[in-house]
């Protein structure tokens, strides 16, 4: 392996005006028009079957960078010198069958790629390994992000591994304890700001203009490049036979942009022969992208004050909406919104398949059910859900749901009666065999 991890140089380009800066500003915005930048891969001469074989072969090697499910696809990544690459062996996540969820959604089969099985338990690690490595290469001492909790957990871990300091800006009281505890343990300077995610982003954008701090939000195009590998690996797991549909949650819209970019690049480079439809699902209380597409045909995006118990996607002004719109149109996907009740129900259904995920990930199943009803997804079609975070990221939500408290005092209290059947509250019993046998019998009666 050469000392550079990729063998040709990717270049930056503005997604709106097409400017091609030699390097990015501190805020990763185009100096001419202020829009986002993206990497453009150079022309390549790789033979697709040989490249696929090489990527698979690397998994059997023992070098950390070959074992990484991100870096083994380095031919589709921007160049980073090997000495600067920071890896926790991210990626290589499982693709699971969800037989119960398939029946519920009215499909012959359904699969989920579980990005919660990454080192810090969310999909963020795949982008963070590349972007943190870029920070290291450029000699930054400090990295920073605004986050709803998963980006910050991931950034804090990769910064620690790369001997960099990290600054986390999170909305006070609006992220799960699991995520907060991760950034504390990984040693980040953690600031809970009295605002929402969008307020944290505003402060961070000001900060990076004044201080030599490297921005690790998904406006950083290195993040997008790393997150592409989830789609590449998915195609490998499907033996390069693309599914009909891929369904992702939409928050700040970096992930959908990344997966869509990977699909388009794989199509252009003859690694796959057709594009899956990429559909994006938002929580109804945090649906600016849904409204942009449905109300304005994608011509503009109106920001909003977001509110949902799926705190990971509680975002009212998504940075990457234009990138996401482009991949939605290029792949022929749909955009949907789902209610708080639908999210909670779908989360329990994914759990009951023995998989589990955090609330934001469950919007995928909830959205799929709607897309099935509308006929956009058909019963015999192949569908892959991208589960973005692990069940244990937000145990509070899960416990409240099963105890029946999740919607107490909310506008959804009455409606929540309809999902009581999914609830499995823990029972407190006397230490008595008879009491346990009675509970067992009651459960058997309920299940038959």
* Closest CB 278 distance from ligand F0G, rounded Å: 12
Distance CA 375, CA 107 (A): 12
- Residue 337, interface with ligand F0G (CB under 6 A)? no
List binders of ligand F0G among 177-236 (CB under 6 A). 218
Q: How far is CA 206 from the centre of its chain?
A: 26
Helix (H) or strand (E) holding 232: helix 229-237
- In the block, which residue shows the tokens 């919607």? 407
* Closest CB 204 distance from ligand F0G, rounded Å: 11
Distance CA 396, CA 149 (A): 14
Stretch that binds ligand F0G, among 9-17, 56-64, 78-86, 252-260 (CB under 6 A): 252-260
Distance CA 93, CA 233 (A): 8
Stretch that binds ligand F0G, among 235-243, 251-259, 265-273, 341-349 (CB under 6 A): 251-259
Integer-rounded Cα radius of gyration of the chain: 22
Stretch that binds ligand F0G, among 101-109, 128-136, 357-365, 432-440 (CB under 6 A): 357-365
- In the block, which residue shows the tokens 């963070």? 128
Looking at the Cβ atoms of 58 and 113, the one nearer to ligand F0G is: 113
**Among 76, 101, 235, 312, which residue sits at the site for ligand F0G (rule: CB under 6 A)?**
312
* Closest CB 388 distance from ligand F0G, rounded Å: 3
List binders of ligand F0G among 96-115 (CB under 6 A). none
Which of 324, 307, 310 has the alpha carbon at shortest distance from 361? 310
Looking at the Cβ atoms of 171 and 271, the one nearer to ligand F0G is: 171
**Among 69, 162, 178, 249, which residue sits at the site for ligand F0G (rule: CB under 6 A)?**
249
Distance CA 311, CA 394 (A): 9
Distance CA 221, CA 254 (A): 9
Looking at the Cβ atoms of 148 and 337, the one nearer to ligand F0G is: 148
- Residue 150, interface with ligand F0G (CB under 6 A)? yes
**Among 361, 364, 398, 416, which residue sits at the site for ligand F0G (rule: CB under 6 A)?**
361
- If phi over 0 gives left and psi between -120 and 50 gives alpha, with beta otherwise, what is residue 424? beta
List binders of ligand F0G among 368-427 (CB under 6 A). 388-389
- Supply the DSSP string of 250-311, one letter for each residue: -SSSHHHHHHHHHHHHHHHTTSSSSPPEEEEEEEGGG-HHHHHHHHHTTS---------S-G
* Closest CB 304 distance from ligand F0G, rounded Å: 15
Looking at the Cβ atoms of 5 and 156, the one nearer to ligand F0G is: 156
**Among 67, 148, 176, 382, which residue sits at the site for ligand F0G (rule: CB under 6 A)?**
148
Distance CA 446, CA 299 (A): 51
- Residue 275, interface with ligand F0G (CB under 6 A)? no
**Among 67, 151, 183, 308, which residue sits at the site for ligand F0G (rule: CB under 6 A)?**
151
Site size toward ligand F0G (CB under 6 A) is 23
CA distances in angstroms from 365 to 267, 296, 337, listed in the order given: 26, 26, 11
**Among 78, 149, 298, 356, which residue sits at the site for ligand F0G (rule: CB under 6 A)?**
149
Q: Under a CB-based contact definition with an 8 Å cutoff, are residues 385 and 259 in contact? A: no
Looking at the Cβ atoms of 111 and 148, the one nearer to ligand F0G is: 148
- If phi over 0 gives left and psi between -120 and 50 gives alpha, with beta otherwise, what is residue 139? left
Say which residues have a Cβ less than 8 Å from residue 313's Cβ, sequence separation at least 6. 148, 249, 250, 251, 282, 283, 286, 360, 363
Stretch that binds ligand F0G, among 24-32, 129-137, 246-254, 297-305 (CB under 6 A): 246-254
Stretch that binds ligand F0G, among 28-36, 149-157, 296-304, 421-429 (CB under 6 A): 149-157
* Closest CB 189 distance from ligand F0G, rounded Å: 16
* Closest CB 14 distance from ligand F0G, rounded Å: 20
* Closest CB 312 distance from ligand F0G, rounded Å: 3
Q: Under a CB-based contact definition with an 8 Å cutoff, are residues 386 and 248 in contact? A: yes
For ligand F0G, the binding residues (CB under 6 A) are 122, 124, 147-151, 218, 249-256, 312-313, 358, 360-361, 388-389
């Amino acid at each position: 392996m050469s000392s550079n991890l990729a063998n040709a140089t990717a270049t930056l380009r503005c997604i709106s005006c097409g400017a091609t800066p030699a390097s990015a500003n501190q805020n990763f915005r185009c100096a001419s028009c202020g829009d986002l930048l993206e990497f453009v891969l150079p022309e390549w001469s790789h033979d697709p079957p040989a490249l696929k074989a090489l990527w698979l072969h690397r998994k059997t090697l023992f070098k950390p960078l070959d074992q990484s499910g991100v870096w083994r696809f380095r031919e589709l990544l921007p160049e980073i010198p090997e000495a600067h690459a920071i890896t926790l062996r991210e990626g290589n996540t499982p693709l699971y069958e969800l037989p119960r969820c398939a029946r519920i959604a009215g499909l012959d089969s359904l699969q989920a790629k579980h990005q919660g099985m990454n080192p810090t338990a969310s999909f963020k690690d795949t982008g963070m390994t590349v972007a943190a490595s870029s920070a290291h290469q450029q000699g930054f001492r400090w990295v920073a992000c605004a986050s709803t909790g998963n980006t910050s957990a991931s950034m804090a871990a990769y910064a620690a591994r790369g001997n960099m300091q990290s600054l986390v800006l999170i909305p006070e009281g609006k992220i799960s304890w699991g995520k907060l505890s991760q950034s504390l343990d990984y040693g980040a300077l953690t600031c809970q700001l009295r605002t929402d995610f969008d307020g944290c982003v505003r402060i961070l954008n000001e900060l990076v203009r004044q201080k030599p701090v490297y921005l690790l939000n998904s406006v950083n195009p290195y993040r997008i490049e790393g997150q592409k590998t989830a789609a590449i690996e998915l195609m490998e797991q499907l033996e390069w036979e693309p599914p009909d549909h891929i369904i992702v949650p939409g928050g700040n819209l970096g992930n959908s942009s990344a997966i869509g970019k990977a699909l388009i690049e794989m199509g252009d480079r003859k690694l796959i022969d057709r594009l899956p439809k990429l559909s994006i699902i938002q929580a109804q209380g945090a649906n600016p992208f849904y409204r942009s597409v449905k109300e304005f045909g994608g011509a503009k995006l109106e920001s909003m004050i977001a509110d949902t118990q799926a705190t990971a996607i509680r975002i009212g002004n998504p940075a990457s909406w234009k990138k996401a719109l482009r991949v939605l149109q290029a792949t022929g996907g749909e955009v949907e919104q789902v209610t708080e009740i639908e999210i909670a129900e779908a989360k329990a259904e994914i759990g009951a398949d023995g998989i589990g995920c955090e609330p934001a990930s469950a919007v995928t199943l909830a959205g799929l059910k709607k897309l099935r009803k509308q006929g956009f997804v058909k019963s015999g079609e192949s569908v892959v859900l991208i589960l973005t975070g692990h069940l244990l990221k937000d145990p509070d939500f899960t416990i409240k749901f099963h105890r029946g408290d999740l919607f107490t005092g909310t506008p959804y209290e009455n409606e929540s009666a309809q999902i009581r059947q999914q609830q499995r509250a823990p029972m407190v019993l006397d230490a008595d065999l008879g009491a346990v046998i009675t509970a067992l019998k009651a459960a058997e009666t309920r299940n038959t």
